[in-house]
Amino acid sequence: MYDPSTLLQEAPLLFLDLETTGLSLGAGHRVCEVALLREVGGQEEARFACLIDPGRPLDPGSAAVNGLNDAELAEAASFASVVSQIEAFAQGAILVAHNLAFDRAFLSFEMAQLGRPAFDGPGIDTLPLARRLLRRPSYGLKALTTALQLPMPTHRAMDDVIALRALFHHLRGLMEAEGITTLSDTFRLERGLRPETPEPEVPPVIAQALAEQRPLRIVYRSMSTPEPTARTVRPIYLSQETNGLYLRAFCELRQNVRTFAITKIEAAELLD
């Protein structure tokens, strides 16, 4: 467990980036490179990076981006052979990634294949933080680090971790200037809540699902599907945006993290 009052500059953090054979877990894609950098009190403690044999071919689009090839991955370590090192790095740390849901989903899937617990603890996502703190035409990691003259990502895992860490420290400075200094403050800012902003009111069933980390069956009406559809979701957090309140959740139907407008949830039922 973590103490929400811990100062962000003192917290144990694990900066994470993965390269994958493709973008979709549903299509059978897997992790093919992992990089971790652990820091405490703003100082690097250790780093770890290695290629992973994914047991399947790279998607041509992914290979074009990261420059990896099937032959070198076939000679790489298995995920099973490095999982203990990954767990040791993660012990007691807050995960930090750019678009954390993507990396967490792939990492947790690999853990599940080995019967290991998922990485479902607290994490910091620099993507929504950047959107709250900066005004940029693009919030991709490369676009942000280019604009801010920070180390550049290359779509190789450790280079991207170094870029991620530099972006995080830049954002932390902006947060401190606004009086956002603790882990709790940081998690709230991701959700669109400044220190003076009260917690939003939500239907009791959604509040209970969030508090107890239980899935929900919802009936949802979206722009893409005007007819309401039933779907099972695993709530992550509530997000306050300028145009309303949203539920961020993993959607079983889409097999991905999605954002649901509270006003468009026509019914919700707790599941065990």
Range of the structural domain that residue 79 is part of: 8-190
Residue 77 pLDDT greater than 80, yes or no: yes
Indicate if the pLDDT at residue 175 is higher than 70. Answer: yes
Q: In this structure, are 186 and 217 located in the same domain?
A: no
Among 144-158, 178-192, 239-253, name the one with the lowest average pLDDT. Answer: 239-253
Asked if residue 262 lies in contact with residue 247, where contact means CB atoms within 8 angstroms, the answer is yes
For residues 185 and 260, membership in a common domain is answered with no
Last residue of a domain, one of 190, 224, 252: 190
Using pLDDT thresholds of 50, 70 and 90, give the confidence band for residue 26: confident
Question: Are residues 13 and 126 located together in one domain of the fold?
Answer: yes
Q: What is the DSSP string of 190-244?
A: HTT--TTSPPPP--HHHHHHHHHT--EEEEE--SS--S-EEEEEEEEEEEEETTE
Neighbours of 268 (CB within 10 A): 22
Phi, psi of 240 (to 5 degrees): -95, 115
Single residue among 167, 190, 213 that ends a domain in this structure: 190
Chain segment 194-226, per-residue pLDDT in tens? 988 999 999 999 999 999 989 999 999 987 777
pTM for the whole structure: 0.91
**Residue 184 sits in the same domain as residue 139:** yes
Under 8 Å between Cβ of 32 and 24: no
Total tally of structural domains belonging to the chain = 2
What confidence score (pLDDT) does residue 223 get?
78
What's the CATH number where 122 sits? 3.30.420.10
Q: Are residues 138 and 247 in the same domain?
A: no
Highest-scoring range by mean pLDDT, 44-58, 117-131, 231-245, 252-266: 44-58
At 1, the pLDDT band (50, 70, 90 cuts) reads low
Using DSSP, state whether 134 is helix, strand or coil. coil
> What pLDDT band is residue 4 in, cutting at 50, 70 and 90?
confident
H helices of the chain, in order, are 60-66, 70-74, 79-90, 100-113, 126-133, 141-147, 157-177, 183-190, 204-212
Residue-wise pLDDT for 92-148, tens only, equals 999 999 999 999 999 999 999 999 998 888 899 999 999 999 999 999 999 999 999
